[in-house]
Structure 1
Amino acid sequence: MQLDLHRVRTYQCPAHSDEQATMMTISDCLTRENNFNLLRMIAATGVLVSHAFPLSLGGNALEPFEVALKGENLGRACVFVFFAISGFFITSSYSNHPNALSFLTARALRILPGLFVMLLATVALAALVKVGVDSSTFWSAVPGYLLSQATMGMGALLGVAPSVGSLPGVFVQNPLENAINGSLWSLPLEVICYAGVLSCGLLGILRRSKLFGAIVIVCTAGYIVRLVALDQGLKLPFLPQILVYVGFPFVIGMAFFVWSDRVILSKWIALGLVAFAGLAWPTPAFLLAFVVALSYGAFLFGFANLPILARYNKLGDYSYGVYIYAFPIQQAVAMAGIEEPLINILVATPLVFACGIFSWHVVEKPFLKLKTARRGLSISSPPSAT
């Protein structure tokens, strides 16, 4: 889950009084250093922490905050953060460079190289840890697995091809058996959201505030319908309801860009949204209020003028690598017999971070240079995109 976080130049906003600072809009902060690389790294780590519980204890294990969030958990909350930030910066990316081919090329260069290398590394790991199956059986299944995962399961999501998420003899005795990389479920949905941004851009909706407002209303209404239907125990078609599920925070991020000159960043607004979510907890509206509060809080943190946190940008954008490598590494740790979630986290985290650093510096960043070369831009901070 990565995003276009370009800074064409470094700009320091003028000093503000406390009263002025509370009234700053997103557009006031667009050209200064931000904290989104750090925020996404925190979110990717949160997914790792959340997954440690079912990977260590089995699929029925409660993940962090699952009771407090009424069935949601830390991992999915972090995915909401990814989608909200992605909605903002992907919309920004298209608006700054409104060319369909450039947009699609940029998205492909950001997602696919890292994904392909991770899949090859995963197959190599799987070949080492497989049990109870001969090599010919294993390797005959590899092409189908790679094709399904390299296309991000789009065929299965659209109902036109089978989904292949496991390999013979791999993690078959783990508490969460057979699953190789459960984190990849969000990638095809993100790609569909990108297609939504491109469609809105080509139709001119991003330049028409009122028309875009109608899109936001429709998406919010769809989200409410989903919440009410699930509360009543109704079964909804998979693709529309899962798109609404992650598309809502994505649309919030889009709205924050389109209306960046109107969205005020204030800790008091954030606290009010948190309080409203708390009041809504007994009702089906809780998740909607929670996603809005979480998304707003993400942007409040991301644009906070905190130079000490902005220093993280000098390191690199490791969150995508952390996100896509964590699950198979944590499965390998669980296969080694570690059944305590905390120990799984402690053992897996340095390995995952090492893979994330490798992925950024050796795979992702070199391919992103092709994107910036096409645009002829001078980028003063590590770019990223999803």
Structure 2
Amino acid sequence: MKRAMEKDYGDTSFITGMRAFAALAVIMIHTGGAGFRELGEIGKNFANFGAAGVFVFFVISGFSVSSSYETSNSYRSYLNKRLWRIAPLYYFWLGVSILLGTTALYWQQQFSAPVDIYNVAMHLSFLSFLDFRIANTIIGVEWSIPIEVFWYLAIPFMMRFSGSAKQLAALIAVSLIVHVISARADVLFPFLGENAPFVMRWSPVPYALCYALGIAIYRARAYIRHSDAIGNLAFVISAAFIVAYVCAPRMFAKIFFDELIFTSLVTTVLLLFGSAKSRMFTLVFGNRVAQFLGIVSYGLYLAHVPLLDLLTRYDGFWMQNPTLRFLLVSLCATFVSVITYYSFEQRLVTFGKNIARRFSPSAPLSEIQS
């Protein structure tokens, strides 16, 4: 069995490191900002920007899932691989959260949605996005998982209508329009009531753009000549835009409409022009720590809120300081995620790939970046 640190996805290995930063950004926002909020307005903006880590995950998912589908011999084998990648750990943390009593009480009380048979069944079937009241009531971050599964189902059909540049441009344009409309749900769809923002936010609709861009990245990377200079330039420009956004988020929100569009476009630039040839990408995303955390990033994402709940109950010195709280939760989530990764997650992913090969005996044996 290969160790996690030995995984190598060639020219796109940096993407694993990007996942690490996205996961840590989400942990930062949920643990109170890691001390950045106490540094003034810009610090607050930086901490708030951590919520955009989910958008980064979605764009990366659009890219990697497109690759996974294209290298699968059938829709069934492709879907089998994807579900074995996402379901086991998701089910594990659903069960742990319920058994330990660390479910998301805030959202349960907000929408009067107890963790009952209906709630659990909707989560297990990846249909919880159909009822915003229960979408985020168990783990506390699980609203995004059924959305991923929805787009797993949809991406193969989207790819069929994105073979040419014109079709791809049309797909992105339509996805952008859908996102803009969904962002105005409270005004355009008054029948949804005061909870219209949640109805849309926890549904697959606003994130069509993320996945459309992921498909575009997959299509376009083959035509881009990657080099150290191009990668470094893309990295510096993206970093400069992020710094500028943190300094003046309202101005950038007017230019890019909202944070999702801004983050998705920056992520697109990084994924398009990044490569192992770039020293900047290798230094930031290709180092051992980033690669290791990126490989267990799915576990980090699912584990950190239940662990935060458990640690908060002790209310010790570490949990009163936002910086120490971030570090403690991150370390605990990493420790637990490494255990779950080696104990069953990695094995079940491999098992799923083997099942997929049985569905398609002639399928390539090369591993897909998941």
Name the residue aligned to 2:98.
Answer: 123
Is 1:253 aligned with 2:214?
yes
Which 5+ residue runs of structure 1 have no aligned equivalent?
1-6, 11-29, 131-139, 167-179
Counterpart of 1:297 in structure 2 is 270
Amino acid at match of 1:52: T
Classify 1:32/1:289 alpha carbon distance in 2 versus 1 (closer, same or farther; 3 Å): closer
Question: 1:372 — aligned with what?
Answer: 353
Q: Which residue of 350, 356, 361 corresponds with 2:337?
A: 356
Q: Does 1:151 align with 2:125?
A: yes
Q: Which residues of 2 match residues 216-295 of structure 1 at below 5 A?
A: 216-226=172-182, 229=184, 242-263=203-224, 266=230, 267-269=232-234, 275=241, 281=252, 283=254, 285-287=256-258, 288-295=261-268
Task: Return the alpha-carbon distance in structure 2 between the equivalents of residues 63 and 95 of structure 1.
Answer: 47
Give the partner amino acid of 2:170: A
Kindly, what percent of the aligned residue pairs are identical?
19
| Helix, strand or coil at the partner of 2:13 | coil
Deviation (angstroms), 1:218: 0.9
- Distance of aligned partners of 1:82 and 1:207 in 2 relative to their CA distance in 1, 3 Å threshold: same
Q: Residue 301 of structure 2 is aligned with which of 298, 315, 323?
A: 323
Q: Distance in 2 between matches of 1:293 and 1:148?
A: 34
Contact 2:17 2:294 (C-alpha < 8 Å) held by counterparts: no
| Aligned-residue offset at 1:86 | 0.7
Q: TM-score, normalised by structure 1?
A: 0.68
Q: Deviations over 1:323-367 (max 9, x none)?
A: 111111011112222343223223222221111111211121111
* Count of residue pairs brought into register by the alignment: 322
SS of the residue corresponding to residue 283 of structure 1 reads helix
User: Structure 1 233/268 Cα, relative in aligned 2: closer, same or farther at 3 Å?
Assistant: farther
Give the letter aligned to residue 111 of structure 1. I
1:52 aligns with: 31
Gaps of 5+ in 2: 1-6, 106-113, 358-362
Q: Distance in 2 between matches of 1:285 and 1:42?
A: 22
For residues 345 and 169 of structure 2, the distance between their equivalents in structure 1, rounded to whole angstroms, comes to 35
Describe the shift of the 1:245–1:368 C-alpha distance in structure 2 as closer, same or farther (beyond 3 A).
same
CA distance in 2, matches of 1:191, 1:112: 9
Q: 2:235 and 2:340 mapped to 1: Cα distance?
A: 35
- Residues 144 and 164 in structure 1, CA contact (< 8 A), matched pair in contact too: no
The amino acid that maps onto 1:53 is: G
Of 79-88 and 331-340, more deviation after overlay is shown by: 331-340
Deviations 1:28-59 (A, max 9, x none): xx853612222212211221111012999xxx
Question: Residue in 2 aligned with 1:208?
Answer: 164
What residue number does 2:4 align with? none
Q: 1:186, 1:127 → 2: CA distance?
A: 18
8 Å CA contact retained: 2:52, 2:263: no
For the residue of structure 1 that corresponds to 2:142, the secondary structure is helix
RMSD of aligned residue pairs (Cα, Å): 4.1
Aligned equivalents of 1:123, 1:283: Cα separation in 2: 41
User: 1: distance between equivalents of 2:143 and 2:97?
Assistant: 16
Question: 1:111 corresponds to which residue?
Answer: 86
Q: Distance in 1 between matches of 2:235 and 2:28?
A: 25
Match for 1:42 among 5, 16, 21? 21
1:251 positional shift? 1.6
